[in-house]
Amino acid sequence: MSAAMAAAPLYCVCRQPYDFNRFMIECDICKDWFHGSCVQVVEHHAADIDVYHCPNCEPIHGPSMMKKRNNWHRHDYTEPNDGTRPVQAGTAVFVQELQTRSFASGDEILVPMHGSQVTQCYLEREGFHYPIVVHDLDGLGLKLPPPLFSVSDVEHYVGKIIDVIDVARQADSKLKLGEFVKYYYQPERSKVLNLISLEFSDTKMSNLVEVPEIARKMSWVENYWPDDSFFPKPFVQKYCLMGMKNSYTDFHIDFGGTSVWYHVLWGEKIFYLIKPTKANLALYESWSSSPNQSEIFFGDKVDKCYKCVVKQGTTIFLPTGWIHAVLTSQDSMAFGGNFLHNLNIGMQLRCYEMERRLKTPDLFKFPYFEAICWYVANNLLETLKELREDNCQPQGYLVDGVKALISSLKTWLRREVRECFEVPDNIRPSRLIKALTKEIRYLEDESNKAGKSQGSAEWPLARSSLEKGYQAQRAARHRKLPSNLDVLELHTLEVLKRLEVGPLEEDPAFSSKVNGKFKKVSAVAVEGSHDNALRLGMLSMAGLLCQQASAGGDILQQHWWSSQGNSNSNSSSDTWDSSEPCSAPRSPEGEDGSLGEEYSYRESSLSPPLHPSKRHAPNPTPISNQATKGKRPKKGQATTKQRLGKIMKMSRHKGLFL
């Protein structure tokens, strides 16, 4: 044993050295640090503890003290209620008020269809601009678990760490699925938790669910992602959503302007839908970047917001760019998936560019969105060429889509020299853009000629752009397979991109951890003001930081929010205050046991993005004494920055950064 190891401090009742993968809490008496799993404190529970007493100190000093509730309408329930602060989205008061608001009826915009009618042919002809609702699933190609499939069945099939949203705080926290399930079945829940980021393509549950055929057939990933792509294949096709009654997800556009399908297996969800008109998108963008976003109901900002009740057994398809919020009106289980496609390429790109302007962290974006656009461009070039050779005219949406694609690719190419590459290495970007431009110009010349000779009907009908299915294979050829080192670098690059930090000092302890699987994640206490860019999904980013780099707490606070002095240390008591400022439901804090075993955590660069709706989980977590709670020990640990400095240098050395 080396001297350094011998000196490593030991923590907790288990007397183990520090493990950055595990959530810990500090005792306010003895100042030792304890694993949540060793002392039965789950991460989201830690947010409610004001003064923590460990099992050693408890017999002498009494039980831990919980924070005192002062309101039912703010993400921070300890804020004094002087009647001046507005209601924030997701709180009990908000959810109650939402149910009494009036909306335009979803029937005005929903297109009811029979499962067998939802075909690619239909959508190519009619377009996909309005939400589709399907009651009769026959012919949809959607396979589901039986209607009685339960929350604990999900646990049986999926054994991993999940992200849940504490709805009242609109804050994200990591949880073992088992902990969520246990919590779900508690007779009295003290929190409303919403699980919407559980992508299960890589689990045993995957076999129980088949994505609707239309989503498979049109999906860019399915059609164009080469098997041997250097970039890991994005998995966003199969989500399981388990929401407790009164869960609320605020207005958002799904990542990358993906279209999405949802099927409510049991329970009920209410969608609030807003059409992505130019005006609405502009309003959405400014609302998204406003500092008091959670205090403004976006549905009030637009001329029409439609309310659509999606009952159990129903499937809904939302097209590109539709702005939506979701209230889970009863405990629900739903399945859903996201996909990019050829029908609304321009709108997809507009949504992506908006995410960029809003500085949405990569974690909340479609993975490798630009890479897939290059693949798609490469394939559509072949499609256009073949159509030209066969004397067929491509459909209008495709021509429009390619034009939009050319314009975005040009923009991206211009900034490539400054930013990370997402151009696949077998693609010659400039040549591709030129060739596509040439095809478009040719089509325009032809249609001009045809216009002049009044014979636009001379072109034969175009084939479906995806019919032939040759594109992906073509693109897949001549690709180098990534070596382990490449994958490591890619992962590193991803982490750095997500963390957006610069190179710092070295820490030799880090490199061995970069390559490993991640286990349990430390919790992070969040407080204080932060700018809008950081508000987007900040908490999940924080989770990622802790997971990627050890000893995260301090640096997290420096990097993601400015920590400020605490003024609410006077708000503690050992029980909830009984004076409720409103009639919202409440229940006593439950004793939350946590499970002892460790779960292995997937490497995050290969993980699906956290669900887009969490882009709106930005408010600082109201943890009054964040200086001590839910972090990790300080002593003897390299800082996040140091650790990141190491990988940054590695990447540079390998020339991944320009």
Ligand X SMILES: O=C(O)CCC(=O)C(=O)O
Q: Report the site for ligand X in 257-286 (rule: CB under 6 A).
A: 269
Q: 606: closest CA among 203, 189, 68, 231?
A: 231
Partner that binds at residue 57, options Zn ion, Fe ion, ligand X, none, CB closer than 5 to 8 Å by kind: Zn ion
Q: Which residues of 185-200 are buried (b: 16+ CB within 10 A; e: fewer)?
A: eeeebbbbbbbbbbbb
Exposure letters 405-421 (e unless 16+ CB within 10 A, then b) = bbebbeebeeeeeeebb
What does DSSP assign to residue 108? G
Kindly tell me which residue out of 37, 223, 237, 249 binds ligand X, with binding defined by CB under 6 A: 249
Q: Long-range pairs for 650-657 at CB < 8 Å and ≥24 separation?
A: 650/489, 650/492, 650/511, 651/489, 651/492, 651/493, 651/496, 652/503, 654/485, 654/489, 656/420, 656/489, 656/490, 656/492, 656/493, 657/420, 657/493
**38 interacts with, out of Zn ion, ligand X, Fe ion, none, CB within 5 to 8 A per kind:** Zn ion
Joined together, the tokens standing for residue 92 give 């009990």
| Rounded least distance, CB 568 to Zn ion, Å | 23
54 binds Zn ion per the rule CB under 5 A: yes
Please say whether the dihedral angle defined by the alpha carbons of residues 72, 74, 80 and 82, taken in this order, is positive or negative: negative
Among 113, 154, 164, 196, binds ligand X (CB under 6 A): 196
Is 326 near ligand X (CB under 6 A)?
Answer: yes
Residue 611, binding choice from Fe ion, Zn ion, ligand X, none, Cβ under 5 to 8 Å by partner class = ligand X
**How far is the C-alpha of 436 from the C-alpha of 358, rounded, in Å?**
29
- The Cα-based distances of 347 to 123, 277, 281, 319, 589 in angstroms read 16, 10, 10, 10, 45
Site for ligand X in 101-120 (CB under 6 A): none
HSE on the CB side for 337, CA within 13 Å?
Answer: 25
**Measured between alpha carbons, how far is 285 from 252 in angstroms, rounded to an integer?**
10
Residue closer to Zn ion, measured from CB, 55 or 516: 55
Residue 302 per-residue DSSP state: S
**Smallest distance, Å, CB 611 to Fe ion?**
7
Binders of ligand X in range 520-579 (CB under 6 A) = none
324 interacts with ligand X by CB under 6 A: yes
In the complex, least distance from residue 175 CB atom to Fe ion, rounded to whole angstroms: 21
Nearest distance in Å: CB 24, Zn ion? 8
Which is closer to Zn ion, CB of 34 or CB of 220? 34
Q: Does 163 bind Fe ion (CB under 5 A)?
A: no
Q: How far is the CB of 334 from ligand X (least distance, A)?
A: 7
Q: Which of 357, 482, 343 is nearest to 426 (CA)?
A: 482
Binding mask 608-647 for ligand X (x = CB under 6 A): ---xxx----------------------------------
169 binds ligand X (CB under 6 A): no
Angle at 88 between CA 286 and CA 290, to 5 degrees: 15
**Minimum CB distance to Zn ion, residue 43 (Å):** 15
In angstroms, what is the minimal distance from the CB of 254 to ligand X?
A: 5
Task: Identify what 466 binds: Zn ion, ligand X, Fe ion, none; CB under 5 to 8 Å per kind.
Answer: none
Q: How far is the CB of 264 from ligand X (least distance, A)?
A: 9
Q: x/- string (CB under 5 A) for Fe ion, residues 228-257? A: --------------------------x---
| Chain center to CA of 647 | 25
Work out what residue 196 binds among ligand X, Fe ion, Zn ion, none; the CB cut-off runs from 5 to 8 Å by kind. Answer: ligand X
Of 18, 24, 25, 35, which lies in the binding site for Zn ion, with binding defined by CB under 5 A? 35
**Residues pairing with 17 in the sheet:** 10
Which partner, Fe ion, ligand X, Zn ion, none, binds residue 194 by CB below 5 to 8 Å per kind? Answer: ligand X
Pick the binder of ligand X from 247, 557, 624, 642 (CB under 6 A): 247
Residue 328 has φ and ψ, to the nearest 5°, of: -90, 100
- Minimum CB separation of residue 485 from Zn ion in Å reads 35
How far apart are the C-alpha atoms of 494 and 420, rounded to whole Å? 10
Question: Which of ligand X, Fe ion, Zn ion, none sits in contact with 404, Cβ below 5 to 8 A by type?
Answer: none
Candidate ranges 49-57, 235-243, 307-315, 453-461; the one touching Zn ion (CB under 5 A): 49-57
Q: What's the alpha-carbon Rg for the chain, to the nearest Å?
A: 26
Interface stretch with Zn ion, choices 53-61, 142-150, 174-182, 472-480 (CB under 5 A): 53-61
Phi and psi of 318, rounded to 5°?
-105, 130
Cα separations in angstroms, 556 against 94, 160, 333, 614: 30, 24, 34, 19
What are the counts of helices (DSSP H) followed by strands (DSSP E) for the chain? Answer: 22, 18
Instruction: Quote the least distance from Cβ 351 to Fe ion, whole Å.
Output: 12
Residue 559 in tokens: 């990097």
Contact set for ligand X, span 295-314 (CB under 6 A): none
Question: Which residue, 32 or 254, is less far from Fe ion as judged by CB?
Answer: 254
Of the pair 196, 205, the CB lying nearest ligand X is at 196
C-beta separation of 118 from 317 below 8 A: yes
The answer to whether 607 contacts ligand X (rule: CB under 6 A) is no
What does the alpha-carbon distance between residue 185 and residue 180 come to, in Å, rounded to a whole number?
Answer: 9
Helix, strand or coil, per DSSP, at residue 549? coil
Q: Using the rule CB under 6 A, which residue among 241, 373, 387, 542 binds ligand X? A: 241
Min. distance of Cβ 195 from ligand X in angstroms?
9
Total residues contacting ligand X by CB under 6 A comes to: 14
Count Cβ atoms within 10 A of the Cβ of residue 437 and give its class: 0-12 exposed, 13-18 middle, 19 or more buried.
middle
Q: Is 243 in the site for ligand X (CB under 6 A)?
A: yes
E strand spans, 306-409 = 306-311, 315-318, 323-339
Residue numbers at the binding site for ligand X (CB under 6 A): 194, 196, 241, 243, 247, 249, 254, 269, 324, 326, 328, 611-613
Residue numbers at the binding site for Fe ion (CB under 5 A): 254
Residue numbers at the binding site for Zn ion (CB under 5 A): 12, 14, 27, 29-30, 35, 38, 54, 56-57
